Amino acid sequence: MTHDIHVIGGGLAGSEAAWQLAEAGLKVRLSEMRGSGEETPAHQTDGLAELVCSNSFRSDDAEANAVGLLHQELRTLGSLIMRQADIHRVPAGSALAVDRDNFSASVTEAIDQHPNITLVRERIDALPDGPTIIATGPLTAASLAAGIGAETGREALAFFDALAPIVHRDSIDMDTAWFASRWDKGEGKDYINCPMDKDQYLAFHQGLIDGEKTPFKEWEKDTPYFDGCMPIEVMAERGVDTLRYGPMKPVGLDNPKTGRWPHAVVQLRQDNAQGTLWNIVGFQTKMKHADQVRLFRTIPGLENAEFARLGGLHRNTFIRSPELLDETLRLKSRPNIRFAGQITGCEGYIESCGIGMLAGLFAAAELTGKTLTPPPYATALGALLGHITGGAEVETYQPMNVNFGLFPPITGRTKKADRKRMYTDRGRAALAEWLNSPRQQAEPADNSPELAPSA
């Protein structure tokens, strides 16, 4: 069968993208290297959509949780992954967890039997010339990663997540913390600063030394770039004052309460365009999540911090999407190629599935001579897409789970307890409006030439 489009990678994203394309009547070649004698360091089987670690798709609460809202949106849009997850659900409270083997087997069977999909067990080493979706995930084969790096520039391709924790802005106590840049440079208010006196600093330093760490997996040890992103606890082990000369340097930061530099300072930098999320600068860490929460809440100003993401350090191949991709996930330098799934810098099974679905829908519209308007930012899919294709700061771009911090903030006076519900109500209304609008147009809009179908 000749094909209209090539999907590379049969994980969560590639399987969903292939399904959406095939359902739209397009002929798809789906290439998956597992089953051809190739393997990744994490996958255990040859099945499509294998869940490499946990068997959970996380919260299924569509009223008060951004992940639950994403589940609901994907169900509404006819997701193969969500349909099979619901069929193979196992008890897990308000979470959606699945029998992983049956789930993967049923996705594989559905793909294999679809008359419009040819599943080929092969490794792809170079970027194809025709319409393509690359969904090769965090463990993309080295040969293809090299090809992607050659196209994007090597500095735009990361091999490691050096994740600093990210905090919701509205959970920071600004009576203690203050806005300032070192020596009042730049706008003078670019960072949120949390001051520490000597005793607080020494206790914090000891907490870093004592905290329980996640060990590196054998295959993570050899991954490049590790030296460039040293965990904060490793810095702490080098000496009691190392951090005060590094990420916790107080120099040039007058505390407005005392008019003096504190003993040490923890700085947070804006992480998204809306200003709702702030990352703790230089705090990438291998500490276990519970210890991170406990220790980071001892930082003055962060006593009640709510974390959109905790720190981490592990192998993860991803591109600098906000710079490289357009709003429909096309590579700007080669618009015949789209990226989908975790390689775009979303994080997690269901987020990868969501971006796989969007890549499939965008490509299907384009190949049938239409354009598809991206979903509104107020939806979970739109918020996630916005983070990937423009909402995040390019230089500090790091993978991210879906969370309310990616959504446009709810404005006006609201009770904190009501806010999650307001996000999900607004998201549902926005999705309904999008579905009922003429979101697929036969002609590309005059003012958006980048949406024109590629050759």
Q: How far apart are CA 355 and CA 359, in angstroms?
A: 6
Within 15-54, which residues bind ligand FAD (CB under 6 A)? 31-34, 40, 42-43, 52-54
Q: Is 124 in the site for ligand FAD (CB under 6 A)?
A: yes
Residue 390 DSSP one-character state? I
Indicate whether 10 belongs to the interface with ligand FAD (CB under 6 A): yes
Nearest distance, CB of residue 8 and ligand FAD, angstroms:
5
Compute the Cα dihedral for 60, 315, 5, 329 and give only its sign: positive
Q: Between residues 21 and 430, which has the closer beta carbon with respect to ligand FAD?
A: 21
Residue whose CB is less far from ligand FAD, 28 or 264: 28
Question: Mask 52-91, x = binds ligand FAD (CB under 6 A)?
Answer: xxx-------------------------------------
Task: Report which residue type is found at 28.
Answer: V
Specify the amino acid at residue 229: C
Residue type, 382: G
Smallest gap from Cβ 444 to ligand FAD, in A, equals: 28
**CB-based contacts of 139, cutoff 8 Å, min separation 6:** 40, 41, 42, 43, 315, 317
> CA nearest 16: which of 95, 73, 99?
73
**Near ligand FAD by CB under 6 A, which window of 135-143, 163-171, 232-240, 411-419?**
135-143
Q: Does 104 bind ligand FAD (CB under 6 A)?
A: no
The residue whose Cβ lies closest to ligand FAD is: 11
Number of residues this chain uses to bind ligand FAD (CB under 6 A)? 33
Contacting residue, 97, 144, 243, 367, with ligand FAD by CB under 6 A = 144
Residues 327-366 that bind ligand FAD (CB under 6 A): 341-343, 348-349, 352
> Annotated binding residue at 93?
no
Q: Which is nearer to ligand FAD, 13 or 28 (CB)?
A: 13
d(CA 371, CA 445): 8
Amino acid found at 116: N
In whole angstroms, the minimum distance from the beta carbon of 171 to ligand FAD comes to: 24
Residues 159 and 177: their CA atoms lie apart, in Å, by: 34
Alpha-carbon 253 to chain mean position: 32
CA distance 10 to 36: 13
Strands 307-309 and 166-168: antiparallel
Nearer to ligand FAD, 34 or 330 (CB): 34
13 has binding-site annotation: yes
Q: How far is the CB of 271 from ligand FAD (least distance, A)?
A: 20
Is 10 labelled a binding residue? yes
Phi, psi (deg, nearest 5) at residue 436: -90, -5
Q: Is 412 annotated as a binding residue?
A: no
Ligand-binding annotation for 14, yes or no, is yes
Q: What is the CA radius of gyration of the chain?
A: 23
* Whole-angstrom distance, CA of residue 82 vs CA of residue 119: 20
Residues that bind ligand FAD (CB under 6 A): 8-14, 31-34, 40, 42-43, 52-54, 123-124, 135-141, 144, 341-343, 348-349, 352
Residues in the annotated binding site for FAD: 9-14
